[in-house]
């Protein structure tokens, strides 16, 4: 069954269809929260529950975008709840600036740890744009549809995100060699980090 059919069946009371959707998308949704929140497992559960509650609003075009849109809303609500006054908005607040401690991700290489730390310094929206691009292979058109913004705006924000990322990499690097290695192999380190990120156990 495709995603739309599974969601319709789940909304009609078929729990097996819900479990199939959960198993199909658990890994990417968990990865989405892993570098942004201390309790990613709880936010994963909230996302799938909200997905079920919003099933009647799914138009059948792109379930992945629909689910990630819900995940973004769940994350922003979480930030408003726990960040208090430290949460300004998605364009200004970062995980680091709010003093939050994301769940520890096991990164075996210095370049991977450096990249994770630099991503956490980015404004929330820029962090999620780059992580969705690098870890979920979302193209500009996917991101524009997901965030309901023009493709030109997404391209501009991604350029800004990469510039800030390089700036933070320079601030955090322990040595010129580590900085050069991370910058020169950014796509490769991001891909390896995607595979290395541990996932919380399914609830």
Per-residue pLDDT tens over the stretch 24-81: 999 899 989 888 887 888 999 999 999 999 999 998 778 999 999 999 999 989 988 8
| Residue 67 C-beta-side C-alpha neighbours within 13 Å | 25
The total number of structural domains in the chain stands at: 1
Does the structure show a pLDDT above 80 at 104? no
Whether 201 is in a domain gets the answer no
202, part of any domain? no
* Range of 164-168, 169-173, 174-178, 197-201 with top mean pLDDT: 164-168
Query: Is 116 part of a structural domain of the chain?
Result: yes
List b or e across 137-151, with b for residues whose CB sees 16 or more CB atoms inside 10 angstroms: ebeeebbbbbbeeee
pLDDT digits (tens, 9 = 90+) for 107-166: 556 777 788 888 889 998 999 999 999 888 899 999 999 999 999 999 999 999 999 998
Spatial neighbors of 147 by CB under 8 A, at least 6 apart, are 72, 125, 129, 154
Report the share of the chain in percent with pLDDT over 90.
46
Q: What is the pTM of this model?
A: 0.83
Distance CA 203, CA 41 (A): 7
pLDDT-derived band at 105 (thresholds 50, 70, 90) equals low
Q: How far apart are CA 187 and CA 166, in angstroms?
A: 13
CATH code (residue 64): 1.10.1740.10
CA pair distance 150, 86, nearest whole angstrom: 29
Is residue 37 domain-resident? yes
Inside any domain, residue 69:
yes
Q: What domain range is 161 assigned to?
A: 3-196
For residue 180, the tally of other CB atoms under 10 A from its CB is: 13
The two structure tokens encoding residue 112: 């991977």
Whether residue 203 lies inside any domain: the answer is no
């Amino acid at each position: 069954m495709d995603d739309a059919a599974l969601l319709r069946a789940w909304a009609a009371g078929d729990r097996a269809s819900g479990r199939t959707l959960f198993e199909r998308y658990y890994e990417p949704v968990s990865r989405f929260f892993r570098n942004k929140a201390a309790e990613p497992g709880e936010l994963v559960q909230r996302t799938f529950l909200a997905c079920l509650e919003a099933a009647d609003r799914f138009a059948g075009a792109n379930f992945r975008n629909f689910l990630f849109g819900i995940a973004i809303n769940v994350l922003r609500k979480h930030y408003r709840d726990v960040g208090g006054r430290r949460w300004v908005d998605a364009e200004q607040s970062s995980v680091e600036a709010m003093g939050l401690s994301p769940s520890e991700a096991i990164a075996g290489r210095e370049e991977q740890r450096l990249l994770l730390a630099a991503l956490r310094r980015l404004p929330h929206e820029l962090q999620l744009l780059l992580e969705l691009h690098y870890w979920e292979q979302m193209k500009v058109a996917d991101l524009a549809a997901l965030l309901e913004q023009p493709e030109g705006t997404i391209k501009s924000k991604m350029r800004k995100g990469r510039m800030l990322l390089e700036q933070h990499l320079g601030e955090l690097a322990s040595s010129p060699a580590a900085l050069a290695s991370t910058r020169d192999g950014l796509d490769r380190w991001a891909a390896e980090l995607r595979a290395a990120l541990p996932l919380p156990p399914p609830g």
